[in-house]
Structure 1
């Protein structure tokens, strides 16, 4: 797992991860900023999340209301922010040495940095119920065998596609190789169909392409190695950029994609949901955001894994993605941890029934009804390797450089070589 020294980071692999089973020994620590017990005995804590789209927009308040109704002496101050706004606000808050009592986290290097600063509660010995979670869902939140957050969603990135538009272009089978993928893009364009929806303005969706191509060309072990060497100039990573440039040169994205957001009106999800693009590379949350921002594609929506690359050493069973969880600030009230159990364990059936999340509790995959979600869940079960989002696996400055440099490549402002040089420089400076 990740090193305890801030200067060293390691990428996460699926193999060898084990779930925790620890005794409940004490409540969370005391002190720090945020919520706590008032003179009337009522406990109030702050909860920051990114549930600004459905189903979370409605479901999260419903769950918190149910919790406070069952515990009348507890109040929850909720702040819901869009993904990028949340990251900016949390970064500023972290820099000031403060964190909300309960806050959204994707784990990895960002969480590691907060832990190194002494801002996060170690819940290893506080949550004996963590043994109920699947190993992969816990992995991003474990640092040197210690647990610092509770997952509520896990999944992988892949291509969500419009079956009707594929059929219109004469594509009968989703592409399995990169060459087939590029051929499919050309067929879609020839049929007058926009092949891909992309939120160029927000940058993080673009980094998915480069990261997956690096995995397919160089293999997962290479990504693990570069975490230690901090040198991204290996030919495999340069080739990943070159392959991405081949795609970009086909002009596959919707008009104005460089200024498009993800879940905003007219953005990536809306373009996909409204049937104005044939596919998007996105995580397991894509269908619900498409529906919320645009329309529900229903039976016309399909899913396929990121293609392999001819001559590459990466396997189709090595997946890229991550999950969502909640961490506690150091000194958060014990009741905040009780809320996390209520949210992630007791309400797992509600989360899955909303069709916006994938199982984190062992055996809960049997509750999935959506065919596409089942495909994603089964892919995770069969995965031989798991790579956390690169902009979360590394410290914030490095992750941001990955996003920025890949965005510059997509915009035609950087070469594949310059991308790897910029990320290497950021990694060595971190």
Structure 2
């Protein structure tokens, strides 16, 4: 499971990473160089975990088909990138391309310092162009600031409902829940054991160090955290109703443990002590290897219609790269139909395009994640202070109401804090 917005496998797996010198190759700008007529592009990512070979395989494919452009990908932990890359790019040094953070909101840091290249001149539907119209609408919107596109998705993930088919069968349930009402009823029925200490939980929810699950529970009923006017709606009637319903299911009906981190939630489901979990494509292989009789379904539909959470990592070009044309050519290829189909097959992630459903339907697991793309939403998209809203306000809110705090009062306080971070004037 990803950390927060894009909780990479690096948070769950130790991986040996190659070191990267963020200083540029000279005084005239970022990036690699040219040798014998071959343009060498450097690419820095945070993909240090088990998913790293999937990205390396894609780059190997590009290099083989583009002998005059060679890309070298190196990886560092997200924290290291976050510490070094802003100053490196702002001073005209560093790699040609980079994934600056697992948080899409990180792009604002680089736009503010004028250190990232707008991609609009390369956007279009023609050969060798970045077909941004094929990106999920939520992703294109998140990467577009003041009418300019600044990033492409390095990956794309959606969340689905994982369930333990053996537990369902033992409880007399023949299929996963399709609606929110069924979801709640099944979570209660699948929770077994005395009092506040079940031996089996109906659902494994996490509230910290995780890709967010709770916003989906709000979205189901039409609630949200921040509205289109940049003002908090976490204390709106729809949000309060949803938060009240689900927090009571945790605190009173004990359908899930309180205060789990993402790794805890995964472990509970892997250990066959929880019947359901909302999670992304990175989790499937681990659950199967743990012996879970795994079922995968779409997130149940609430009164507001189908919705789930999307996760993506931005991939950007340094404004001072000496090889901007070649870097844009790489991004066009990387996000094209052929590359995204190949990447999806190798990685298990859905493609970062909405027009490839038929290409991935041969893999039922990938097909489930791809089917969720049209109605998937990014968490706190377009918010420059998204990280602080999450860590300083939203996570503490959920932790309070899980432990019995009055939802309306806690949500009102959270709304004030959010508005101070978004600049809302209400």
Partner of 2:31: 35
Partner of 2:327: 336
Matched, 1:425 2:422: no
Matched, 1:371 2:364: yes
Q: Which runs of 5+ in 1 are unaligned?
A: 1-29, 309-313
Check conservation: 2:203, 2:276, Cα contact below 8 A. Answer: yes
TM-score normalised per structure 1:
0.72
Partner of 1:131: 131
Partner of 1:208: 213
Q: Report deviation, 1:373.
A: 3.1
Q: Report deviation, 1:414.
A: 5.4
Matched, 1:281 2:284: no
CA distance in 2: counterparts of 1:328 and 1:274, whole angstroms = 42
Q: Which moves more between the two structures, 240-249 or 107-116?
A: 107-116
Shift in CA distance, 318/94, structure 1 to aligned 2, threshold 3 Å: same
Give the aligned length: 373
Shift in CA distance, 400/200, structure 1 to aligned 2, threshold 3 Å: closer
Q: Which of 98, 106, 127 is equivalent to 1:103? A: 98
Partner of 2:379: 389
Shift in CA distance, 218/394, structure 1 to aligned 2, threshold 3 Å: farther
Matched, 1:172 2:169: no
Q: Report deviation, 1:124.
A: 1.0
**Equivalent runs, 1:1-400 vs 2, <5 Å:** 34-37=30-33, 44-54=40-50, 56-68=51-63, 70-71=66-67, 74=70, 76-81=72-77, 86=78, 88-93=79-84, 96=87, 98=89, 101-104=96-99, 109-128=105-124, 129-131=129-131, 134-136=134-136, 138-190=140-192, 192-202=199-209, 204-205=210-211, 207-209=212-214, 211-219=215-223, 223-225=226-228, 227-230=229-232, 232-249=234-251, 250-253=253-256, 258=259, 260-262=261-263, 267-273=264-270, 275-288=272-285, 290=287, 294-295=289-290, 297=292, 300-308=294-302, 314-332=303-321, 333-334=323-324, 335-345=326-336, 346-354=338-346, 356-361=348-353, 363-368=355-360, 369-381=362-374, 383=375, 386-390=376-380, 393=383, 395=385, 396-400=387-391
Shift in CA distance, 157/73, structure 1 to aligned 2, threshold 3 Å: closer
CA distance in 2: counterparts of 1:248 and 1:91, whole angstroms = 35
CA distance in 2: counterparts of 1:371 and 1:77, whole angstroms = 30
TM-score normalised per structure 2:
0.73
Q: Report deviation, 1:155.
A: 4.4
SS at 2:187 equivalent: helix
Larger RCO: 1 or 2 (CA < 8 Å, sep 6+): 1
Q: Compute the RMSD of aligned alpha carbons.
A: 3.6
